[in-house]
Amino acid sequence: MTNPSLLILPGDGIGPEVMAEVRKIIDWFGANRDLSFDVSEGLVGGASYDAHGTPLTDETMELAQSVDAVLLGAVGGPKYDELDFSVKPERGLLRLRKEMDLYSNLRPAQCFDALADFSSLKKDVVAGLDIMIVRELTSGIYFGEPRGIIEEGNERVGINTQRYTESEIDRVARSAFELAMRRGKKLCSMEKANVMESGILWREVVTEVAKDYPEVELSHMYADAGAMQLCRWPKQFDVIVTDNLFGDLLSDAAAMLTGSLGMLPSASLGAPMANGRPKALYEPVHGSAPDIAGEGKANPIACILSFSMALRYSFDQGAEADRLEAAVERVLADGVRTADLLGEEGVTPVSTSGMGDAVIAALDASL
Ligand code: NAD
Ligand code: IPM
Ligand code: MN
């Protein structure tokens, strides 16, 4: 049997730093669990722009379309701030999402017991938290036409369009209901049907899809109220489904519930491929963190947990994903902390590679 294929795109800033730790973990599974991958590596974002003058080459795009899963670090950075919009690092990531048609972006927010004291919210608000935000990823205001900056009278106007078709809402809603069925059977849909037509249609379509999932308790919330409820009592939620922009904002907010943006993984899933598995890209929710890039301070856990999501959703290795997540939990319970997780007195932070090594040691201990 051939090994499953994995394309690694480390990207910019802390992307390559956290990805180096994931490489160690991939190697560990090859050496210890008879689970090897055909790994190829490519450039995305600023790194690709520097080498090729574009944030994603057609060759890398084709490779991404052909592999079983893509694992991405992060893109962007101040070095690229002045570039033309069409070649900015972020465009490379958006092209991957759009052309691979990765419409369902799963962003779990889980609070590890060892970090419950560390959240900016009170411990009882976040302890045991385990929610899943499903963000629509290939449409909405990120991609809607018309868009651009135009001249109007004697001034310029910036234009973006929020646009959703029924089928786009239907398919992301179905993926959220499917997840809810495998979790706590509760789904909250968030939009702004009080002010936006796209929100009215969103609510109608989600309500229609709910008829196919009678076991799931569906609720609706305006996204602004949803943001407030996420901070007030996040444990009221199980699965949240929302559009591209609201999902971007709500998932960063949810990240802080867990203690650090450096903890949150994500899976971006599309339609099933010939092998029955979804087309998929896995990446941490955080960005390239230019403020700490190159200093060995980045927390690699978000990227490590993104690989764990790949094991679960692309490679049917749920037990090995459990093993990796338990190893991360063990390391945190033992008090190992990167600098972003410091709250307790007298704890010396470990480096990015120190955290990766600690996870490897916990994996060794799991055998
Ligand atoms: P960011 O997520 O890069 O950083 C926000 C803050 O969180 C910073 O203080 C950073 O140091 C910290 N942080 C983030 N990840 C961390 C980690 N793993 N360990 C420790 N601390 C971490 O967001 P930003 O500063 O708004 O954006 C920087 C660049 O990244 C921008 O160019 C932006 O477009 C890009 N970005 C890319 C992605 C992506 O590639 N998916 C996501 C978000 C932002
Ligand atoms: C994310 C990021 C991206 C987004 C950017 C870098 C294009 O913020 O993945 O959350 O806005 O979707
Ligand atoms: Mn974001």
What's the ipTM?
Answer: 0.98
Q: Is residue 43 part of a domain?
A: yes
Closest CA to 174 of 118, 221, 136: 136
Q: Residue 35: what pLDDT?
A: 97
Helix (H), strand (E) at residue 63: helix 58-66
Q: Is residue 351 part of a domain?
A: yes
Q: Nearest residue CA, atom 27 of ligand 1?
A: 287
Give the angle 320-216-268 at the CA atoms, nearest 5°. Answer: 45
Q: What are phi and psi of 267, to 5 degrees?
A: -125, 130
- Ligand 2 pocket: which residues have CB below 6 Å? 76, 90, 93-94, 248, 285, 287
Is the C-beta atom of 289 inside 6 A of ligand 1? yes
Within 10 angstroms of residue 11's Cβ, the number of other Cβ atoms is 30
Q: Residue 120: what pLDDT?
A: 84
Q: Is residue 331 part of a domain?
A: yes
Whole-model pTM: value is: 0.96
Q: Nearest residue CA, atom 9 of ligand 2?
A: 285
CB 75 within 8 A of CB 44: yes
CATH code, domain with 298 = 3.40.718.10
Q: Residue 246: what pLDDT?
A: 98
Q: Is residue 324 part of a domain?
A: yes
The tally of domains found in the chain comes to 1
State which residues of the chain have pLDDT below 50.
none
Q: What are phi and psi of 238, to 5 degrees?
A: -115, -75
Give CA–CA dist 78/230, Å, rounded: 31
Q: Is residue 148 part of a domain?
A: no
Q: Is residue 164 part of a domain?
A: no
Give CA–CA dist 140/155, Å, rounded: 26
Tell how far the Cα of 250 is from the centroid of ligand 3, in angstroms: 9
Instruction: State which residues form the domain around 34.
Output: 1-108+264-367
Q: Residue 47: what pLDDT?
A: 98
CB 359 within 8 A of CB 331: yes
Q: Nearest residue CA, atom 26 of ligand 1?
A: 287
Pairing relation of β-strands 144-152 and 278-284? unpaired
Q: Residue 255: what pLDDT?
A: 83
Q: Is residue 166 part of a domain?
A: no
Q: Is residue 22 part of a domain?
A: yes
Q: Residue 342: what pLDDT?
A: 83
